[in-house]
Amino acid sequence: MTGFLLIDKPHGPTSHDIVDAVRRALGVKRVGHAGTLDPPATGLLVVAVGPATRLLRYVQPLPKTYEVTCALGVTTTTLDATGDVVEHRPVGVTPGEVRAAAASFVGEIEQVPPAVSAVKVAGERAYKRARRGEDVAIEPRKVTVHSFDILRTSSDAFDARIVCSSGTYVRSLVADLGARLGCGAHVVTLRRTAVGHLSVADAVEPERVAVGDVAPVEEVLEHMPRLEVDDATAKRLRDGQRVPTEAGAGEYVVVGPAGAVGVFVSCEGALRAETVLGN
C-alpha cells in the first residue's frame, strides 16, 4: 500500500496521534505526515502511507491556507487560547486599521516562532524549555505571507483567511499584528483549509479512515510536472537504469500504467532517479 491520505484533524490530538490512528486503521507501520498541526488546531493534515513517505518532502513546501478567529486586547503565554493571560489592554482600533495592519504583513517577513513550539533550540524542542520556565531565545526566520484577508471584525475580535509559506506560525503572525495595533491579540481558533491544491473538503475524519481513502501518489503530486511512460520503461527506471528523454530539465513525477514510479530529474537528455517507489 502506498499513497496519501487527506485527514481532517479534529481539536485535541497531536499530529503524531493521527499518524498512530492511521497505522491502526490500515495495519501499516510506515506512515508519516507533512506540516504539523498543534493539538488545538483543526483541518487538513496530509499523511503518507508506505513508500510514499519518501515523497513528503515534495508536499511540505506547498503554501498553507488557514482560517483563524482572533481576540484583540488580550495576550497569552502561548499566543493562543490555551495559554495563560499575560495582559489585558484596551481596544480602540477601527476595522480599517485592522485591515491595514494585516496588509502590512503581506510579503516576505522575518518572524520569531512562539516559545511554545516544536522549533529546536540547542537541540531541544522549544516547548520543553518553556515548560520548565526557561527563557527561550529563538532566532527569527524568513517566511512569506501570500495574503492576509480580514473577513469579519467586531469591537474585540476578527476572523481572517491567511495563505502563507510552509514554516509560518500563524500564532506569531497574529501576535505581531496585535503588537502593531498596540492592543495585543491571540489566536482563538485555527483551521487549515488547504495545502497547495489539496483541500480539507476532500479530507476524511481519522476515525473513518479506510484503504479506499488512500489517494494515488500522482493525484497528490499533481502540482509537479508529469511524465507518462510505458510498462517497459517504468521497469527500467525502477531497476535504476538511466532512460533517455526529451523532457526539459527539472523534476518530474513519472507515471507508468500501474501508477507512479517515483520522482526523477531530467538532466542532459536522461532521467535520473531521485525517489523510486519500487514495484
Just list the catalytic residues.
Answer: 38
User: CA triplet 242, 246, 247: central angle to 5 degrees?
Assistant: 90
Contact between 180 and 148 under an 8 Å Cβ cutoff? The reply is no
DSSP letter for 201, please: G
What are 241's three cell numbers?
A: 537504469
Cell numbers 499518524 correspond to what residue?
Answer: 19
Is residue 92 within 8 A of residue 183, CB to CB? The reply is yes
Lookup result for grid cell 473577513: 151
Distance CA 86, CA 150 (A): 25
Residue 175: CB partners within 8 Å, gap ≥ 6? 75, 79, 114, 184, 185, 186
| 234: number of Cβ within 10 Å | 22
Find cell 502561548 and name the residue. 78
Helix (H, G, I), strand (E, B) or coil at 197: coil
Distance in angstroms (rounded) separating the CA atoms of residues 61 and 59: 6
Q: Estimate the crossing angle of helix 95-103 against helix 170-181, to 10 degrees.
A: 130
